[in-house]
Structures are given as C-alpha cells and as structure tokens.
Structure 1
C-alpha cells in the first residue's frame, strides 16, 4: 500500500513555488489507481517524493509501511518508471537489466523473463541509443518488473507505444493488480484510463481534487444530461424550469435536460400525468468529467473553441 499524509513540496527561497500542497491519499493493493492532473499539477513531484528522489518540505509518504529508502531491497518492493530514457545509451538492454539485477542478487533467468514479457528478447543485445521511444518505454517497464515488486509506480507508461503496445500495458497492469499488487499509474490519456483504472486520484495545483472510483467520478461529475421524449415536452419543460436546470431541444418532443436527474424528471412527469416515451441518462466520458473538474487548475489554459478572443 502507498500512503501519503500532508505531503508538501516547495521550491525556491524568497518567493517559493508550492508544487504539492498538503496532499493525502492511499493507494490500495489489488486495484489499478490512475493518478491524474493537468500539466503542472504536481504528479511527477509527488511520484519523486514517493520514491525518495525529492524530500518533502512537510508531510510524509510510505510504501509498504516504510519510506522507500528504508527498504533493504527496494527493487523487490517497488518497481518504478519515471523517465524511461535515463539509461546509459551505450549499454544493451540485457546488460542494463543485468546491472540492476546484480545489485539485488536477482538471477539471470529473471532478466530473460522480463525481456520476454516486454517483447524485447530479440533486441536484448542492441544498444539502447538505437531504441525507439516505444522500445525505451518497454525497457523501463522491464526494469520496473525485474524484482517482482509488490508495488508499481509508473509515470506515463504508454507514452510512445503503438496500439498493440497500449493494449499490452493495459492488460499487464490489470494482471499485476489482479495478483494483489499495488499499481499507481499516471497518464494524460483519459480514454485509456477509463478502461484501465479502477480508482482515481486527481490533483490540481498540488491539491487533492478527487479520490474515488472511475464509475462514481463519471456518474457524479454533474455534467451529464438526460434525454427525454414526450408528446408533452413543452409542459414538462415548464414544470422542470429552474435556475440550475438547462433544457434544450433539437427535435420536436425531444429534450436534453441538465441540472437534474432521471428520477426527479420521471417523478415530476408521473405527478402531472405526462407520458414519457423515453427517459435515458446520458453519461459523460471520463475526459469530459476530468476537464470539468480541473478547468480552474490548468497552469497554461487555451481558449475554448468558439470563445471570444
């Protein structure tokens, strides 16, 4: 399990910049937890603190009940991918992994196993400087898996992967969680997170914005609508009208209603004997729910299409 309590990181002297601000969360084993946030939200800084690469200004974080540096054999406890290309370019994939393996007494057979798992067996003898971005990502993931750790922390693991590679990492993460491991993964690909993650931790400007399941986050985002088809659409519109309710129509007898739920609409219609031919909640995508939540936390925003300059 990963725990962060009051995690804070400030940079600078007279005018410090707060990258992470009082962040507290838990990442439990057996699930894939998506770590999301806009650029500059503090995700990478948080991951670096989890791994002992940056010291927190305040607060603390533990992995498996202790700080990362306190683990006597960290590769067997935590597998991490923060920067896949931070590898000596003159080394081969095989020798890079063997160098890591020697530090923990990991046998050569395990190196061969992770090369096979990540699809790198055929290029194991090639120097890393000739690797594509996707191959470099696969090597970084191989290193993270090397010690068969109980916790995985991966920053943008699908970056540079082709569709087959994206599907592979998705299935890999799910399999790792199914075996009881703790999996924390950051990504900007909301479509991928929607089918990979079970739980979400979302931050903005270094602060926690949401800590919930994917299903609940999308359901409770408040940006979904309800499609209603009724021969008395005009009358229903009058009954549901209110400052928080938005009702539009793109066809006679058809309403798109926001600001209230299907239960209230159905109850109101029944109370006034209004027939309904259709009453269908229209769920939003994870991407839209994420954008709605984080729009005030974006460090460098761009104008929305159609907005005034």
Structure 2
C-alpha cells in the first residue's frame, strides 16, 4: 500500500506539489493522471525517496522507501525506462541489479521471458528500440517480485500487442493482491486498465475516485434515442416537465433527451406504440471527463491559430 500525507515540494519560488494526500490500495490498478506540469513525476520521485519533500511524507508498505532493507523486493519502479547502461546487454543489466539484492540468476531468466526479451537478451541495450527499452524497464521493476509497482508511462513505444500485454500483466498483478500505481497520458488505455484514479492538477488533488464515478461526474446524464417516430416522440417528451429534447438535422431519427432516463422514455414509447431503434444512456469517456475536470489546471496550453492566418503569414 502507498500512502502520501501532505506531500509538498518547492523548487525555489515554484511549488510543484502542494499538500497532496492519497492512498493507493492493493488489489486494483490505480491510474495516476494529470496534465503536463501537474506534478506527477515529482510526486512519484517523492514516493521513491528520489526527491525530499518540502513538507509531508510518503510510505510504501508502511515505511519510507529508504527504510526498506531490500527496496527492490518491496517496490518495483520504472520512472525512466532508458535509465540503463547502454553498453550492457539486457541480461547483464538485470543481473547487475539482481546482485545488489541477492536475487537469484534464475529470477533474471524468468523476467526476461515474462517481458518477451529472450531473443535480444544478449544484445546491448543501447541499440534497443523504444518498445524494447520499455520492456526492459518493466523487467527491472518486476525483478524483485515486489508487492508494489510504480510505473510511469509503461506503454510508451509499445505496439498494439505490447499494449495488450502490459494491460493484462498489470491487471493480473493487481489480482494477486499487489499495489499497482500507473501514470499515463493515454486516457483510452487507462479506461481499460485502471479501476481507480488519482487525478492532480497544478500539484493539487483534483479527484480520488473510481473510474466509473469520475466519468459519471462529467456526464450530462442524457439519453440517445433513435426511432422512426422521432417527431411524435419528441412531442410527447417535450410535454413532460423538466425534459429537454434536441433533434439532429442530419439524422431525422435521432434525439438527445435530458431529464428522463431510458426506462421512462421506453415506457412512454411503448404506451404510444412507437418503435425504438436505440436507447443509450450518454456517458462521458474518460478522456472527456479528464479534459472537463482538468481544464482549469492546464499549465501549458496551446494556442490554435486559424488556418487563414497561417496561410496569410506564410504568404
């Protein structure tokens, strides 16, 4: 289990993390999200004792990271996958790490097979592709068979097969009762992998909740309806108190309804013998929810230049 209590980190006049408290429970994958500059990397560095907090403290499995006698056996971390000696082979890189904690050579062999690097294990890591480097970083994190994993952007550089592999791996490790904290900018992947989210912006906590609750908080609560009797159904729904109906000029069979749930709409349609093709609650995606709830916490915001201005400047 990971515990952060009042974590604060200042670099001169700049406060990167401000009074941040959260817990990461074992048994589920927890996503750690935030815009660029939100303080995610700084927070993970403080969890691992790489940065000293200006205030507050963090513990992993009940102790500060530096207090563990064999940290690799307690916490597996990957903050920078390419933090390796480029002249060493993947096998020797892992073997050197294993030697620092009395980890058997057989375990090195196991993690090489687990991450799919057997064919390149004797090649110099400096020549690895981004995806191969990511797999080696994950192997390093898993080397001590730790109860806790902290991974920063583990799917970077992985192909679709690799992304599916890491997704299933993280879920299986959590199912074994391990604590898994994963940072990522890929909202679609987090939606498929994580069950719980910790979201920060400008160094402060924005949300500490389940994925379902997070997306529900940004959903409008409407219902998408498709019916060949759209005009009649819109009239019936519009006569109900506090119900709003929007039609679609491009699709005459489509309605967006707010103020009535699917059951109420379905019953009303049945009472008047109206056919329904579709009745779908509108749920915000994780990406939509993230963009909505962090819009005021974006530190680096791009300015979209109208195409006409770009063309005029180029001319």
- TM value normalised by structure 1: 0.88
- Note the C-alpha offset of 1:240: 5.1
Query: Which residue of 2 is the match for residue 34 of structure 1?
Result: 31
Higher helix share: 2
User: Corresponding residue for 1:290?
Assistant: 290
Distance 2:272 2:17 in 1: 52
Residues 41 and 205 in structure 1, CA contact (< 8 A), matched pair in contact too: yes
Residue 152 of structure 1 corresponds to 149
> Could you give the per-residue CA deviations for residues 27-84 of structure 1, whole angstroms, max 9, x where no partner exists?
1000000101111111111000000001111111110011001101000000000001
Matched length? 300
Q: Which structure 2 residues correspond to residues 13-162 of structure 1 after superposition, within 5 A?
A: 16-162=13-159
Q: Say which SS state the counterpart of residue 41 (structure 1) adopts.
A: coil
Q: Which runs of 4+ in 1 moved over 6 A?
A: 273-276, 304-309
1:233 aligned residue = 234
Q: How does the TM-score come out when normalised to structure 2? A: 0.87
- The CA distance in 1 between the partners of 2:286 and 2:168, in whole Å, is 19
Cα pair distance change 1:291/1:308, threshold 3 Å: farther
Structure 2: which 5+ residue stretches go unaligned?
310-315
**Residues 280-289 or 171-180, more deviating:** 280-289
**Matched-pair contact (CA < 8 Å) for 1:233–1:254:** no
Counterpart in 1 of 2:6?
A: 6
Match of 2:166 among 164, 169, 186: 169
- Cα deviation for residue 150 of structure 1 reads 0.1
- Offset at residue 252 of structure 1 (A): 4.4
Deviation at 1:116, TM superposition (A): 0.7
Moved more, 68-77 or 224-233: 224-233
State the Cα RMSD in Å: 2.6
The aligned residue for residue 302 of structure 2 is: 302
1:262 is matched with 261
**Cα drift, residue 290 of structure 1:** 1.0
